[in-house]
Structures are given as structure tokens and as C-alpha cells.
Chains A and B, each alone.
Chain A
């Protein structure tokens, strides 16, 4: 992957890697990531986070929305960690 290694910052706008297809699958009642060699069924929180990675929203606003959605306040660290893992797996990239 040619993705940069600098950590995400609050103004980055994470977006799904265009090689992947991210969508809700009614039959699985889950968000899926489809890519050339496979299919990943995401758990609830991962699916809800990726659903906001549209290349428009900044990290700041994603975290603000998730706080409401998850009804939790102390999640900044977890979200940043998740984003790094997701980027490491090539699911998302940062646009600025």
C-alpha cells in the first residue's frame, strides 16, 4: 500500500479505498466490505464507523457523530486506533 504512515489528524477525511465496495447487506443484517479476493462481514461498531468514512466528513465530525450514535463520550482514542488498523488493512485512506 502506498498509504502514508503519519497518524490521522482531526482534519483528515477518511474514505473507503476505491478498490473496496462497502455496503449494507440486508440478508446478513450487517455492513460488508467486498474486495477482489474476499468478503468481510463487519461487526456493528466497525460498520458504523466505516459508514461515516465518505471522504467528506473530517475525523472530528465523525467522532462527534459516533459519540451520539454509540451514546458514549470517551471514545476518541478507540476511534483513532480503529482508523489506523483499518488503514493498515487497506480498507480506508486519508484525504485532506
Chain B
């Protein structure tokens, strides 16, 4: 089946079987390997992308189901000139990653949080990100990074 969807603002078409997930289409057909695939059954959050602005597990969505919708991946976070998104910058500055496998999922989940709540508390950040697993950092620096990004995005000193 031919599936046309908008990915990071660009209309893309792929020819895929219905059983192929959005995660696999992004990675294998469209070459967007920033979206990572960990567990493939909804538990780890590595594959989190935004669908029409809302976070979803791209391993639990068949690409045919996303036809006509707007998908945002980690590749869509930075500006066109390569300037990092405040979340990416904060993950860098606050050491919010080690191996980086989980990072795209955390960034996309955090992006949805900050879109909806620009001033989350530490506890709100932890609860929101509870669906994303990280095997390296112990989470503390990830939470710090999201709080730092929120502060910078609010324009606080």
C-alpha cells in the first residue's frame, strides 16, 4: 500500500505492507534512524514520536494508520540551520544522556510535556516520563535537563 504522511513538515510517501509499523517506516523506508526501536511492544518508549502534536509509540502504530497525519521525529526538533532545540541543548549541558539510545524518546515525550505545561515541577516531569526507560543515567540528569530546558524556554535567568 502507498502511504503518504507529513514527516517534520515534509510530505513523504512510502510503499509498505500494512503490518509495518510507523517506527520501521521512519527508519527503514525514510532513513530517519533517530527514532529508536527497543522493545517493540510499547514498554520502553525509545520509539516515541509526535502524531499531530501528541506523543505516541511508533512501534504500536501501523504506518497505514498514520496516513495523512503529521509526524514529528527527533530529526524535526533542531532548527533548519542545525541550531539545537532548547531540550537538546539542555540534555547536552546537563548530561542527560550517556549511550543515547533512549534519548530521542525522552526528547519527544518531554517536548509534548513542555508544549502543554511550560512550568512543570520535578515530580510532574518524573511522572510524565515514567513511560520511558533509560539503562544508563539513573534518570536524575534527564529530569534536571528537562527542568533546565523549561526554565530556559520560559526565559528565566
Do A and B interact?
A: no
